[in-house]
Amino acid sequence: MAKETAPRETPLHPDFASALSASIGEAAAKTVLEALRAPASVSIRLNPSKLQACPFPGAAPLEWNPWAYILGERPVFTLDPLFHAGCYYVQDTSAMLPLYLLRQLSGELSPGVRMLDLCAAPGGKTTDAAASLRSLLGDGFCLIANEVMRQRFGVLQDNVERWGDPCVGVVSRDPSAFGGSPLFDIILADVPCSGEGMFRKDPVAVKEWTPELVDFCAARSRRILRDIWPSLCEGGLLLYSTCTFNRKENDETVAWIASELGADVLRPSVPGAVLPTEYGYLMLPGLVPGEGQYAAVLRKRGGEARRGNPVLALNPVFPKPEGEGPVYEVDGPTALRYLHGDALVLGADAPLGPLRIAFHGQVLGPAKNLGKRCNNLYPKGKRIRMDVQ
């Protein structure tokens, strides 16, 4: 298993082991607790619009995502120009479960589908959704990625721009601010949670966990879902997910959605490594290579699929063109200097005026060649800060 983080050193809350056993059973809890002592894996998911083959030798393909690979070791992604070009996204394999479930329901999707990723930052599930919808529908979809926290919204916007799908826009709204009319055929609600599934990677989640936090997160999830429910069309799909194990935030919340908001639970098929629960599915460290993830799918009751236009209603920001002018290919060291924000001197064959710097055919960003020197126009906020020499 690839090493990504050191084994956990922060001690677990004294009530966590018993709470885990109550949620998933004693045998599964033992497996998870043993796995939390081991290093985490590292994986990527390709952008199929930009890259068709994994650039890392020895990577193993993933069963539940056609574009994902588990790497044998963790490279320095910051020093890979293809990462900055949006050719792949670094994402835990378990976090790919919700969009796997959506692809299993591809027969429910038709051109013109409108989807909301409600709690989208940093953008892993958004880009997975973009690849999934594009593979099924081509340009026939609209995906809106939302993040209410302004600092996290900037990260989401950068990742969506890097991914570069023209059918994906970003907004920043509280779930209560989407209005009372149906706008979406699909809503993905990867809600903020107690983070039990991320203990191996996030010592802060370990330190902050308490039974009271679980109760708080479960109540917050229900507030979020109640607020956004009017935005889902009748007959539309809700993908509900968390990165935690407990029943309060998972199955009990799904049962609440079904009974209080009005929905039917769907049961698409899943790989054998996924643990079915009463209403959804769990991925457990030790049974899968990644971290903890829960997901469930529900269909909103009712048959009237009237909807508004989310682009007109929400005014999302869509990716901007990556500069203008001809594409000029550079080698790896030059690409890193460009991404670092350094001044460039291009070859004599470089056209004068505005151009776009590219590496392996993938555009990195804009520049302006003046002949004796080249103005580096790569955005300052995106530049590599570490040494690239």
* Band (305; pLDDT cuts 50, 70, 90): low
pLDDT (tens digit per residue) in 252-292: 999 999 999 999 999 999 999 999 999 999 999 999 999 99
Sheet bearing 362-369, strands edge to edge: 327-329, 353-359, 362-369, 374-376
> To 10 degrees, what angle do helices 150-163 and 124-137 make?
40
The DSSP symbol for 352 reads: S
* Band (304; pLDDT cuts 50, 70, 90): low
Domain 327-382, architecture per CATH: Roll (2.30)
Judge whether residue 4 has pLDDT over 50. no
8 A C-beta contact, residue 384 and residue 342:
no
User: What gap in Å lies between CA 384 and CA 315, rounded to an integer?
Assistant: 31
Q: What mean pLDDT is reported for the chain?
A: 95
* Band (389; pLDDT cuts 50, 70, 90): confident
Pick the catalytic residue: 193, 233, 243, 374?
243
User: What gap in Å lies between CA 133 and CA 108, rounded to an integer?
Assistant: 12
Please confirm, yes or no, whether 119 is among the known catalytic residues. Answer: no
* Band (5; pLDDT cuts 50, 70, 90): very low
93-313 folds as: Rossmann fold (3.40.50)
Q: Considering the entire predicted model, what is its pTM? A: 0.95
Q: How many other C-beta atoms can be found within 10 angstroms of the C-beta atom of residue 183?
A: 25
8 A C-beta contact, residue 158 and residue 192:
no
The DSSP symbol for 189 reads: E
In this structure, the strands spanning 141-146 and 184-190 are: unpaired
pLDDT (tens digit per residue) in 6-44: 445 789 999 999 999 999 999 999 999 999 999 999 999
> To 10 degrees, what angle do helices 97-104 and 124-137 make?
20
8 A C-beta contact, residue 296 and residue 272:
no
What's the half-sphere exposure (Cβ side, CA atoms, 13 Å) at 366?
Answer: 12
pLDDT (tens digit per residue) in 230-254: 999 999 999 999 999 999 999 999 9
Q: Is 205 helix (H, G, I), strand (E, B) or coil?
A: helix
pLDDT (tens digit per residue) in 329-348: 999 999 999 999 999 999 99
Q: Where in the chain is the domain with CATH 3.40.50.150?
A: 93-313
